[in-house]
């Protein structure tokens, strides 16, 4: 059954005339007749008594209320899709890693709310792996995460690199390793580590780095927020490998110290500095929706300054200091 067949059937049923039905549909009478005959052929039963005044058969009378519901549902769906295409969607959902939520997203969120006041913005802080899962499940529209080529390999996924940032060592201010400007990996591996929980890309990076160097990882504790990391690290000799943006508060904390990682005299090409890449992921069909495209472009415009940088510490620390100063 095709929509034009359904339209022709409803027009004839409601006007009791093929001629009037043709005028209503804006086609010729022969076209209406052909559409109704095609529908009858598909259903294998006559729908009209073709007399001087066209009347519904028993089958036609049974079909009429259902045909009206189908036609109305189609119009409702078509209207909703037209509104979606025009940007009239009720909400936009974003999943992002904690550091992006805390330091980079706020100005973008404010700008988006000014540009699309009718769209409710929902933002959830999640680990990278979990954020990509809810994106694939259709629960969010965009995810800003640590890059994982294995989880974004689907052809419908659109991946936009945003910036690279170094991974450094967080320790207590009186930790023995504060004697180093850059901590050698063998020294780092001697101490218990605080790592992100399963589902966070940083846990995978730390595990891979220890495994690649053939050193055992003593993961003493799993956490999932920078605040929790700082609270635990300042109490003893445990260490944490964290990305630069998760260390911004720590730079202003006298009870904590941050050091670079010295991987030795390795070839910088085969053994580059330890970093993570932050990317934005969505799907090609979502980018056709104006509010999603607009938010996508806002993120690129705001974070393009970080792309291909080795470090964002100077600018981010300045931004953080300004934020902290404005709160006092």
Q: What is the CATH number of the domain that holds 212?
A: 3.40.190.290
Q: Residue 271's pLDDT is what?
A: 58
Q: Residue 322's pLDDT is what?
A: 38
Q: Are residues 134 and 100 in the same domain?
A: yes
Does pLDDT of 131 surpass 60? yes
pLDDT tens digit string along 212-259? 888 899 999 999 888 899 999 998 899 999 999 889 899 999 999 999
Q: Residue 307's pLDDT is what?
A: 57
Q: Are residues 55 and 128 in the same domain?
A: no
User: 318 vs 275, 286, 300, 315, 324, CA distance in Å?
Assistant: 21, 35, 21, 5, 10
Q: What is the CATH number of the domain that holds 67?
A: 1.10.10.10
Last residue of a domain, one of 59, 85, 111: 85
Q: Residue 266's pLDDT is what?
A: 53
Q: Residue 88's pLDDT is what?
A: 63
How many domains would you assign to the chain? Answer: 2
Q: Are 188 and 263 in contact (CB under 8 A)?
A: no
pLDDT tens digit string along 112-126? 999 999 899 999 999
Going by C-alpha positions, the residue among 139, 156, 112 that lies closest to residue 301 is 112
Q: How confident is the model at residue 305 (pLDDT cuts 50, 70, 90)?
A: low
Q: Residue 272's pLDDT is what?
A: 64
**Mean pLDDT, range 263-270, rounded to an integer:** 55
The residue range of the domain holding 146 is: 89-328
User: 96 vs 63, 100, 122, 230, CA distance in Å?
Assistant: 50, 6, 11, 21
In angstroms, rounded to a whole number, what is the distance separating the alpha carbons of residues 17 and 21? 6
pLDDT tens digit string along 67-102? 999 888 888 787 777 766 765 677 899 999 988 998
Q: Are residues 253 and 126 in the same domain?
A: yes
Q: Residue 156's pLDDT is what?
A: 85
Indicate the average pLDDT of the chain. Answer: 85
pLDDT tens digit string along 170-182? 999 999 999 999 9
Q: How far is CA 144 from the centre of its chain?
A: 6
Q: Residue 224's pLDDT is what?
A: 85
Q: Are residues 215 and 304 in the same domain?
A: yes
Does pLDDT of 1 surpass 80? no
Last residue of a domain, one of 33, 55, 85: 85
pLDDT tens digit string along 14-51? 998 888 989 998 999 899 899 999 998 989 999 999 88
Does pLDDT of 58 surpass 60? yes
Q: Are residues 251 and 126 in the same domain?
A: yes
Q: How confident is the model at residue 267 (pLDDT cuts 50, 70, 90)?
A: low
Q: Which residue has the higher pLDDT, 60 or 312?
A: 60
Q: Residue 312's pLDDT is what?
A: 43
DSSP annotation string for 220-278: EEEE-SHHHHHHHHTTSS-BEEEEGGGSTTGGG-TTEEEEEEE--S--TTTSPPPEEEE
């Amino acid at each position: 059954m095709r929509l034009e067949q359904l339209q022709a059937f409803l027009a004839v049923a409601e006007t009791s005339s093929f001629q009037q039905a043709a005028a209503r549909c804006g086609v010729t009478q022969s076209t209406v007749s052909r559409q109704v005959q095609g529908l009858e052929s598909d259903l294998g039963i006559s729908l009209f008594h073709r007399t001087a005044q066209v009347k519904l058969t028993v089958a036609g009378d049974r079909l009429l209320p259902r045909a009206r519901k189908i036609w109305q549902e189609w119009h409702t769906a078509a209207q909703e899709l037209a509104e979606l295409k025009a940007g009239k969607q009720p909400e936009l959902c974003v999943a992002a890693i904690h550091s992006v939520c805390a330091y980079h997203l706020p100005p973008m969120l404010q700008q988006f709310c000014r540009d699309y006041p009718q769209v409710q913005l929902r933002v959830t802080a999640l680990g990278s792996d979990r954020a990509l899962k809810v994106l694939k499940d259709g629960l969010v529209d965009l995810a800003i995460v640590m890059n994982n080529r294995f989880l974004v390999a689907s052809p419908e996924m659109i991946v936009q690199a945003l910036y690279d940032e170094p991974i450094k060592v967080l320790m207590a201010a009186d930790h023995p390793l504060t004697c180093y400007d850059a901590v050698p990996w063998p020294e780092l591996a001697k101490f218990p580590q605080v790592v992100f929980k399963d589902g966070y890309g940083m846990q995978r990076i730390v595990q891979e780095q220890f495994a690649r160097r053939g050193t055992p990882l003593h993961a003493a504790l799993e956490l999932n927020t920078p605040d929790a990391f700082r609270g635990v690290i300042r109490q003893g000799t445990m260490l944490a490998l964290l990305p630069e943006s998760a260390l911004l508060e720590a730079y202003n904390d006298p009870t904590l110290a941050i050091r670079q990682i010295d991987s030795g005299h390795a070839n910088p090409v085969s053994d580059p500095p330890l970093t993570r890449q932050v990317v934005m992921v969505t799907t090609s069909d979502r980018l056709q929706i104006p509010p999603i495209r607009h938010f996508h472009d806002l993120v690129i415009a705001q974070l393009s300054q970080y792309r291909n940088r080795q470090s964002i510490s100077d600018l981010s620390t300045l931004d953080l200091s300004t934020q902290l100063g404005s709160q006092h």
